[in-house]
Structure 1
């Protein structure tokens, strides 16, 4: 379960809190109930975020040497920062992703998506299958992020290789040979980020001006490139795939009886791009009567919390606007709630609105396939064709 917790419906009952070993024999306390997941997220003093970016597969000496050769360091910055510096760093990043700045991207984003959907529709009309991941969703969030935050000059494919390598290196079960390959990809781009952090404008300059050290600037950029675009491209792909299986929702969107925003929220509930997240117990405590010793790794099953029958009326059904739909924890909660939530929502709303008519007459040729990963889905393709 631990590495494929996103897969399939939640069919069998689970305890609210249960100890589960991972692939190397380390026990993790998995929390499944919505109220308990929220409780942990809202208490960063008892359940600290320090382990959020720890590698699930211990990194062997060979891969560590590769990272060291590239000068790789990832200090507490955003998701893994439970210290006093977090609010100041988060505040600067939040300003870069301010809802007003995000909303201003809608006309440009709509034009880009509309043009892409037009090309995809033309290809479908000639009988050719199209890949909605590669040709629509994969790079779109990166393009939007680059309009809000100055980023290093690098080909899109290089950035995407780096971000997916980082997700695999830190959150997947991988063998030592693969870890060395991933460490080289991550390390090489980390060097690019270091150079940009020292001279770049926008967010990097704002962090430098605020007196943040170079490693923090790099860490903020590192995390934004992962959480600020990779997770959104995954969510867009998974949401579009979900819509192809719910034709009544597509009809409702066309008729105006189903709201786009409701579709996005229901998608976040059922297809969250981040299915689990971690915390570590800072002291001896308990959850729902279960002892939690200091140092325990706590895995919060965000995806299952979104299907809690005590919160949502029809946990397994895709019913936009149903009771409890918006109470999902796809963006977390508390002091570390996703700072890019509104950006992700905007992108998803525009993509759903513009792509829904295209989906009304397609069949799935190749559904998204996702590799083993504790927290991220990482779909590789989504191919459709006209019926």
Structure 2
């Protein structure tokens, strides 16, 4: 990999500490595309950990940045003062395109909808799924080219997560890449390159069109499941669940997007991030090869280090004190999980990637409180099996150029990453 980005990071550090504090804007897409946001978060944590950004920083108005671990935890575990309604991203829902979903709901509706789908990731069900996950990972790895460059994101990370999603939904296998596309489209902005233009109005129109295609496709599957006895897939659970069987089209779409993005982006970006982190820290890669029993710990460290969803939003339901500031009723509060996971007051050497940390599961990547990621154990299981199977096959996986990152301050991920698997001899 090139060292060209070392200069970029040095420049970012100088800029982060020389600009007025009020000018720092962590939603700037370019910071995430170039992975240069870290010094800006460091400065916010040190100088103003509960920071009000002016309205001009974002097209949807002013917002608070919460950047320290314990402050984020205080927000995430207090759903009464910090509501998930009307949205969990900085953007407010459009009046003509509102997508209710249980992650953006408060109790009691949140609780009963979440309970409807949670059996799919119960310990018992994960035990049933494990042999299938292992078999698919083995097949995928066995078909990778040796001594030839290829895109790890496409061939491994996307393929494995999309296969898993297709299984959870009992979705037609031959159309499974539609799930990847819908996941990407649902969270993409004008800078993503996924649409025919960067014009926001065109992007919005195309986004709606594709998401309506998504709900139309899933509505056909819904009709099939309603006509059948209840089964163990997500669509059947929603179609037969007391709390979800009467959802309208937009609420169905909202919950589909939640389940697709939740099951896709987080796992796929951790799968890519693990290869990148081990390449950037060859001593840790050597340690993992020598001690494969560290795989579960390495998985947790990767999920912290990667932080696949950079932030979540809450909205204050009343005036509330946090970090010496008064957050007013109705204010937007952004919990920067990516920053909290690098908080040196809580996590020792947080910028280092250490696969045998004493408490590797101490991170914010899955959230806390009632909205803690419902599929976190499934994500960990997929990553664990992936690395168990990699270690018995390949001496190393080499990242040969800087990955292309997703231009997003919400999904912290990768569009592509070229690797080579050298032959064993």
Deviation (angstroms), 1:253 = 1.8
Q: TM-score, normalised by structure 1?
A: 0.87
Residue 255 of structure 1: aligned partner? 290
1: CA distance, partners of 2:409 / 2:268: 18
Q: Deviations over 1:363-382 (max 9, x none)?
A: 42333222332310241111
Q: Over residues 63-122 of structure 1, what are the superposed CA-to-partner deviations in whole Å (9 max), with x where a residue is unaligned?
A: x5xx6xxxxx522x32101141111111121112212212332222222222322222xx
Is 1:13 aligned to residue 43 of structure 2?
yes
Structure 1 residue aligned with 2:390: 355
Which of 58, 62, 69 does residue 27 from structure 1 map onto? 62
Distance 1:176 1:379 in 2: 25
Counterpart secondary structure, 1:18: strand
Alignment length (residue pairs): 372
Unaligned runs of 5+ in 1: 68-72
Separation in 1, partners of 2:310, 2:406: 13
Aligned 8 A contact 1:44 1:82 in 2: yes
Contact kept? 1:249, 1:258, Cα under 8 Å:
no
* Cα distance change, pair 177–147 in 1 and its aligned pair in 2 (3 A): closer
Change (3 A) 1:55 1:171: farther
More displaced, 270-279 or 4-13? 4-13
Name the TM-score, length of structure 2 as normaliser.
Answer: 0.80
Distance of 1:25 and 1:222 partners within structure 2:
22
The question of whether the paired residues in 2 share the 8 Å contact of 1:168 and 1:373 is answered with yes
Is 1:135 aligned with 2:143? no
**CA pair 13-57 structure 1, distance change in 2 beyond 3 A:** same
The within-5 A match list for 1:202-241 is 202-211=233-242, 212=244, 213-215=246-248, 216-241=251-276
CA 1:184–1:207: 2 relative to 1, 3 Å? closer
Whole-Å separation in 2 of the counterparts to 1:143 and 1:112: 8
Deviation for aligned residue 1:210? 3.1
Which residue of structure 1 aligns with residue 127 of structure 2?
Answer: 103
Query: In the aligned structure 1, how far is the partner of 2:82 from the partner of 2:89?
Result: 15
1:300 partner SS: strand
Report the Cα distance in structure 1 between the residues aligned to 2:125 and 2:405, rounded to whole angstroms.
32
User: Is the counterpart of residue 191 in structure 1 residue 224 in structure 2?
Assistant: no
> Unmatched 5+ residue regions in structure 2?
1-25, 193-197, 226-230
**Structure-2 separation of matches of 1:3 and 1:187:** 29
Q: Does the 8 A contact of 1:169 with 1:183 survive in 2?
A: no
The CA distance in 1 between the partners of 2:200 and 2:253, in whole Å, is 27
Further displaced range: 160-169 or 107-116: 107-116
